[in-house]
Amino acid sequence: MNASTNAAVNTDRAKVVDLRSDTVTQPTAAMRAAMAAAPLGDDVFGDDPSVNALQTALAERLGFEAGLFMPTGTQSNLAALMAHCERGDEYIVGQYAHTYRWEGGGAAVLGSIQPQPLNHAADGSLPLADVEANIKPDDPHFARTRLLALENTIGGKVLPMGYLAQASELAQRHGLSRHLDGARLFNAAVAVAAAEGGDPYAAAKRICSHFDSVSVCFSKGLGAPAGSMLCGSRELIRRARRARKMLGGAMRQTGVLAAAAHHALDHHVARLGEDHVLATRLAEGLQGLPGLTVEAPQTNMVFCDVDKEIATQLVAHLKREGVLSTGLYKLRFVTHLDVDAEGVDRAIAATRRFFQAQA
């Protein structure tokens, strides 16, 4: 890639404030340099030094024995479910959890694992009385309840640490394994560290101490182009490696991606706090518009309740003004590495213009 091509792309992108998701980030120059410099090998033979280094580094940081680099978070979650569960087992999961609602039914289709979805409390948690009531007795009528799967952050919300401890205790008391979809684990960790003091890596490790496995995305707020990692015990990762192969996710010189992820792990964790500040700035700027109820963000996502029809019109209006958002259930804006205060202010101004035109 030559510099002039890159510059042209960047200039073009600068016109648009893309708040659809934190997945839209471009690798930084330093990240691209790390990718270009990465030593490579065939990871299916276990020979890629960059992949091996990343797997060791993240597992150690999160307090697990082993890690496994995955192409996507969807596959990482599915491999985890298949490593924890056998055919005919069941996992307890939230109605809006990615591992239930947003993964094409993969656990059922490819893993023969039955979901038991539960409604979320307002804070995103699964009420523990509901979890307990849905653990099936050992009886041939029922699927075998084998796993509790939580997500943190969930819809941008941070599950309270005390809740994680209680959920973990309940799962263990009933012999269930515990999986965390921590696609945005580090957003949760940065928020916990900001509230309680301490550093985000230590907070991430504390969160993970309540789980047998965790899946982390590098391609969300951390800003890598692709890649996720599953962490767990050596035995669990051995099983997940088999699942990954079956699912077609064993890649070769994938150290180019692992190097990007490693760069993100070392340099892009603490800065997630900046995204959280910008989300708050955006939420505050959107306050007080008629018909728009803004939820106070805990991390990098701003959700607004608005009439479905208005939401569709607003998303289209914002797009014409060069501001991208989504309006599937609620209006959603996500801050990330490639958004700054000026972009957020443009989004606020464009939204205000929409409501002024309505009035």
Ligand X SMILES: *Cc1c(COP(=O)(O)O)cnc(C)c1O
**CB under 6 A: which stretch of 66-74, 81-89, 132-140, 278-286 binds ligand X?**
66-74
Give the relative orientation of helices 341-358 and 272-286 as an angle to the nearest 10 degrees: 20
Cis peptide before 153 (omega within 30 of 0): yes
Taking alpha carbons only, the member of 120, 95, 115 closest to residue 105 is 115
Ranges of H-type helices in 38-147 = 49-62, 73-84, 98-101, 106-111, 128-133
Angle subtended at Cα 212 by Cα 210 and Cα 214, rounded to the nearest 5 degrees: 85
DSSP 177: E
Contact 87, 113 (CB under 8 A): yes
User: According to CB under 6 A, which one of 26, 28, 52, 72 is a site residue for ligand X?
Assistant: 72
Choice between 135 and 147, CB closer to ligand X: 147
Give the relative orientation of helices 49-62 and 200-208 as an angle to the nearest 10 degrees: 80
216 dihedral zone (left: phi>0; alpha: psi -120 to 50; beta): beta
Shortest distance (Å) from residue 299 CB to ligand X: 12
Choice between 114 and 228, CB closer to ligand X: 228
**CB under 6 A: which stretch of 158-166, 214-222, 247-255, 340-348 binds ligand X?**
214-222
Choice between 157 and 220, CB closer to ligand X: 220
292 lies in the binding site for ligand X (CB under 6 A)? no
User: According to CB under 6 A, which one of 183, 192, 229, 258 is a site residue for ligand X?
Assistant: 183
Choice between 217 and 240, CB closer to ligand X: 217
Strand partners, 18: 324
Binding mask 88-117 toward ligand X (x if CB under 6 A, else -) reads ----------x-------------------
Separation CA 164–CA 147 (nearest Å): 15
User: According to CB under 6 A, which one of 217, 230, 265, 314 is a site residue for ligand X?
Assistant: 217
For residue 118, the Cα-to-chain-centroid distance in whole angstroms is 20
63 dihedral zone (left: phi>0; alpha: psi -120 to 50; beta): left
Q: And the tokens for 354?
A: 């929409």
**CB under 6 A: which stretch of 71-79, 141-149, 250-258, 266-274 binds ligand X?**
71-79
Shortest distance (Å) from residue 261 CB to ligand X: 12
Shortest distance (Å) from residue 150 CB to ligand X: 11
- Of residues 223-242, those binding ligand X (CB under 6 A): 228
Separation CA 246–CA 243 (nearest Å): 5
Shortest distance (Å) from residue 155 CB to ligand X: 9
Choice between 151 and 354, CB closer to ligand X: 151
User: According to CB under 6 A, which one of 25, 50, 74, 187 is a site residue for ligand X?
Assistant: 74
Strand partners, 86: none
User: According to CB under 6 A, which one of 89, 90, 151, 212 is a site residue for ligand X?
Assistant: 151
User: According to CB under 6 A, which one of 38, 59, 62, 73 is a site residue for ligand X?
Assistant: 73
Pairing of strands 89-94, 144-151: parallel
Own/partner pairs, 311-316, CB within 8 angstroms, 24+ separation? 313/354, 314/351, 314/354
Choice between 39 and 105, CB closer to ligand X: 105
Shortest distance (Å) from residue 4 CB to ligand X: 31
Shortest distance (Å) from residue 256 CB to ligand X: 17
Shortest distance (Å) from residue 105 CB to ligand X: 14
**CB under 6 A: which stretch of 48-56, 197-205, 216-224, 287-295 binds ligand X?**
216-224
Q: Considering just the CA atoms, what is the radius of gyration of the chain in Å? A: 21
Shortest distance (Å) from residue 274 CB to ligand X: 20
Cis peptide before 5 (omega within 30 of 0): no
Would you tell me which residues interact with ligand X (CB under 6 A)?
72-74, 77, 98, 151, 181, 183, 217, 219-220, 228
